[in-house]
Structure 1
Amino acid sequence: MISELKKYEFHKCKDLLYEQGHLEAKAIVHGVNTGRIFVDDTDSPTSGLIWLGNNDGFFFIGNERNEAFNSKLNYFIDTVIIPEARKVGLTWFEGIGNHSKWDETIKKVFENRNLGSWNQRVYTLQRKDYKVNLELTTEVEYNIVKISETLFKNSDKSIKNIDFLRSKILEFWSSPKRFLNDGIGYCVVYENMIVNVCFSSFVVDNVHCIDIETLEEHQGKKLAQKVALTFVENCLADNLVLYWDCMESNKPSIAVAEKIGLRNVFNYKGYDFKFK
């Protein structure tokens, strides 16, 4: 039987995490970011499934050869995950193994589901490795602003599209306060509109995962590079480690990561199938 853990029980899964694995999974287990965890045994779990709180996928953790868990996954997904996923508008299941041994298990378990796959890259950067010194200029109308409580509240209503910032932060964090306590971020403001955000999406200890988005009509102006560089330099000044996870097919994102000096540390596969 696969059962859901209470948030105060998430610590039981710490030993199931692969040390060199994904920051997103660690952030949920450590209780920093929002998410849900389903396991084979709520008292002493050996395998589990993490549902990221931003609905951006599922991570398989622990023992990939646990037949008691694996044999129940399809039924569990059909009867529990899919009905709840549809309530939040999801039409696809996206699964990732916390370590590469899960790949074969995922392919075997879901062999009858028209399984697709894609490749991801993970980059990191530590202060001792930072050598890039870029001078990026943007049009004077674009201003980089640190994300603060004052900006988030927008009491003077100076930002016309403040919901863009708020919705991005709350995709990953349980509250603005939790983000402001544990994360950092910057945004680009143009004519009283936030047109780019760059912030800590997942955090574990001193490692910060970067999420960055530029509104379509302002893309192509190197805003992502500029704000990411600001984010990186401020993080490194505080001895934080940067973590950047992006699809291999996302060439612009990879270009930004490599341009500002992040180093590719590991790659992995993600798998997906459409809900019936």
Structure 2
Amino acid sequence: MISELKKSEFYKCKYMLYEQGQLEAKAVVEGINPGRIFVDDIESPASGLIWLGNNDGFFFIGDERNEGFNTELNHFIDTVIILEARKVGLTWFEGIGNHNKWDETIIKVFENRNLGSWNQRVYTLQKKDYKGNFELTIEEGYKIVKISKTLFKNSDKSIENIEFLHSKIVEFWSSPERFFNEGFGYGIVYKNKIVSVCFSGFVVDNVHGVDIETLEEHQGKKLAQKVAIAFVKDCLENNLVPYWDCMESNKPSIAVAKSIGFRNVFNYIGYEFKFE
């Protein structure tokens, strides 16, 4: 029977994580980023399903050949996950194997669903590869700022769209305090509005997963590159490793990563089907 672990029991899943696997799964198991974990056996789990706290997907961890877990997955998703997903407005299941042996299992388990897939690429940046010959000058009127507690609180109401920053941080973190304790970030301000952000989405040890977004009306000005460089420089100065995870089809994001010196370290496949 698949059951949910209490947060105080997440440590039981550490040995199931693939060492070269995704940062997000590790961050939830370590209790740094929010999420939920469902396992085959609460006392001695062999296989599990991690639901990321930002509702950005599910990770399969542990033994991909665990028949007891695998045969129960469809029923569990239909009777538990779908009900919980509807509460948060989620209409798709996006599943990812923590190691690529899960791919075959996922395809087999969900063969009766209309299963789609996409390719994901992971990049990291080491100090020796950093292409630091960039000017951080940007168009007049745009200003790069560090995301500070003062900026976040916005007590003086100087930022008109502060909810954009708030929504981005709480999407990944259980509280603003947790973000400021574990991560950091930069933004670009234009006419009293935050128009681009780059910050630590998921964190494990000294590895910081990059989350980056530029408001649509300000895209095409290389703001993502500029704010990413500010973030990356801070990482390298503090011996932190920036980790960039994006869809293979997201050519602009990959172009930004490569222009700074990120190197592709591994790829994986994501699978999806619509909740009925």
- TM bucket normalised to smaller: over 0.9
SS of 1:199's equivalent?
strand
- Contact kept in structure 2, 1:119 and 1:267, CA below 8 Å: yes
Give the whole-Å Cα distance in 2 for the aligned partners of 1:66 and 1:28. Answer: 22
Taking the TM superposition and a 5 Å limit, the aligned residue runs for 1:124-163 are 124-163=124-163
Runs ≥4 in structure 1, deviation > 4 angstroms?
A: none
Structure 2 gap segments, 5+ residues each: none
Q: TM-score, normalised by structure 1?
A: 0.99
Give the whole-Å Cα distance in 2 for the aligned partners of 1:249 and 1:132. Answer: 26
| Equivalent in the alignment of 1:263 | 263
Query: Per-residue CA shift, 1:70-121, capped at 9, x if unaligned?
Result: 0000000000001110111111000000000000000000000010000000
Give the whole-Å Cα distance in 1 for the aligned partners of 2:189 and 2:165. Answer: 11
| Equivalent in the alignment of 2:40 | 40
Give the whole-Å Cα distance in 2 for the aligned partners of 1:257 and 1:131. Answer: 10
| Equivalent in the alignment of 2:234 | 234
Q: TM-score, normalised by structure 2?
A: 0.99
Matched positions, count: 276
SS of 1:239's equivalent?
coil
- Contact kept in structure 2, 1:119 and 1:247, CA below 8 Å: yes
Shift of 1:136: 4.5
Is 1:202 equivalent to 2:205 in the alignment?
no
Query: Identity over the aligned pairs, expressed in percent?
Result: 79
Give the whole-Å Cα distance in 2 for the aligned partners of 1:21 and 1:243. Answer: 12
SS of 2:145's equivalent?
strand
| Equivalent in the alignment of 2:15 | 15
Letter in 2 for 1:208: H
- Contact kept in structure 1, 2:131 and 2:259, CA below 8 Å: no
Give the whole-Å Cα distance in 1 for the aligned partners of 2:6 and 2:151. Answer: 33
Give the whole-Å Cα distance in 2 for the aligned partners of 1:85 and 1:187. Answer: 31
Query: Per-residue CA shift, 1:200-234, capped at 9, x if unaligned?
Result: 00000000000000000000000000000010011
Shift of 1:184: 0.7
- Contact kept in structure 2, 1:200 and 1:208, CA below 8 Å: yes
| Equivalent in the alignment of 1:186 | 186
Taking the TM superposition and a 5 Å limit, the aligned residue runs for 1:248-259 are 248-259=248-259
| Equivalent in the alignment of 1:59 | 59
How large is the Cα RMSD of the aligned pairs?
A: 0.8
